[in-house]
Amino acid sequence: MNKVFISGGSGYIALHTIILLLQKKYYVVASVKDKDKIPLVKKCLQENNINISRIEFCVLDLLDDQGWDDALKGCEYVLHMASPVIPGNVEMDLLVKPAVEGMTRCLNAAIKNKAKKFVLTSSYAAIYGNLKNRFSDDDWTDLNRKDLMPYEISKTKSEMGMWEIVKNSEYKIEACSINPVLVLGPSVSGVISMSNKQVLSRILRLPFIPNISVPIVGVRDVANAHLMAMENKNSNGKRFLISEKTVDLIHIAKILKSNNFNVSTLVVPDFIVRLFSFFIPSLRAIAKRLNKKEHLEPKNAQSILGFHPNSVDLEIANSVQQINSKK
């Protein structure tokens, strides 16, 4: 029996990944932070016509040693997805400490139990934080930069920590990282994800559309990338930048408009955005990204995994419909 451990089992990407694992007849051990989430996860899976006889749950805390070694017993594969996501310039320890310590606890338990492969859900945030505008699997966020947000630091330190532990481990566990860009698409649980909230709700509040672009990918493709990396023998030691395309914000706004959202599709000159950013705090981060088109080269995903994502436009539309249903 192929047994897979997945941390953060109630999370946005994790739930989509669990569905794929169970559909492929894996036995899944999923961790949650709060035991009250277990019946909710079971209900979500059953509502998606998933047989839950091959999944078990455990309660683990990223900041507590208790339970990790026992939870991973007999697991051939370990997918570490649990990590705090808090937008904005929050207190550093709220993100960095649980991200780094949680990864360390999970990886050490995987090594102790002699798991075959460890797959870390990292982020594009561990790649783009430098002075470039062209990014590949080999790029790293520069931790010496003073303008990094806590989330960017947490993801970078967590992934760097993983590679360091793997390098120095006496037991040679296989490892790889998944580094998705902005992930959009509906949630299994019906709870709107942070990434969808940040982008879609921000566009809805703007009086106009700034001239910025953003790399995006669908959530189900990200879940599938985790399985592809987990199963592929050649993924060991690799980072996988996961992206479908880079789009202008107006592209997303038009999808919202076509789904009956009251959203502006007026694209304004950059100087107007910069002017308004003095009075509208939410525009300040946007003003820094004006006319900065990012070029991505996700070569490892394409050449090693054979990863060819679906159009994220449909995922955006599905997200919008889910948001609409919550009104």
Q: Going residue by residue through the chain, which has 327 residues, state the pLDDT in tens, using 9 for 90 and above.
A: 699 999 999 999 999 999 999 999 999 999 999 999 999 999 999 999 999 999 999 999 999 999 999 999 999 999 999 988 766 566 777 889 999 999 999 999 999 999 999 999 999 999 998 888 899 999 999 999 988 888 999 999 999 999 999 999 999 999 999 999 999 999 998 887 878 877 887 787 788 899 889 999 999 999 999 999 999 999 999 999 999 999 999 999 999 888 888 889 999 999 998 998 888 776 777 777 787 788 999 999 999 999 999 999 988 888 887 877 766
Angstrom distance (rounded) from CA 187 to CA 322? 8
Angle between helices 150-168 and 92-112 (to 10 degrees): 20
Residue 243's identity, in one-letter code, is S
* Per-residue pLDDT at 88: 58
Q: How far is CA 82 from CA 13, 161, 228, in A?
A: 10, 15, 19
At residue 321, the pLDDT reads 79
- How far, in Å, CA of 220 to CA of 315, rounded? 9
Give the pLDDT of residue 86: 67
Element (H, E) at 179: strand 174-180
- CA–CA separation, 149 vs 128, rounded Å? 12
Task: Express the helix, strand and coil content of the chain in percent, nearest 5 each.
Answer: 45, 15, 40
pLDDT of residue 142: 96
Q: What is the pLDDT of residue 327?
A: 61
Instruction: Give the Cβ contact number of residue 147 at 10 Å.
Output: 7
**Beta strands 213-218 and 245-248: pairing type?**
antiparallel
Q: What is the pLDDT of residue 190?
A: 81
Closest CA to 72 of 104, 37, 109, 45: 109
CATH level 2 (architecture), domain 3-184+215-245+294-310 = 3-Layer(aba) Sandwich (3.40)
Between the alpha carbon of residue 167 and those of residues 28, 109, 115, the distances in Å are: 27, 16, 16
Question: 240, 122 in Cβ contact below 8 A?
Answer: no
Quickly list DSSP for 83-110: -----SS--HHHHHHHHHHHHHHHHHHH
**Integer CA distances (angstroms), 267 to 204, 251, 271, in order:** 14, 11, 12
Q: How many helices (H) and strands (E) does the chain have?
A: 13, 12
Q: Ramachandran region of residue 8, left (φ > 0), alpha (ψ -120 to 50) or beta?
A: left
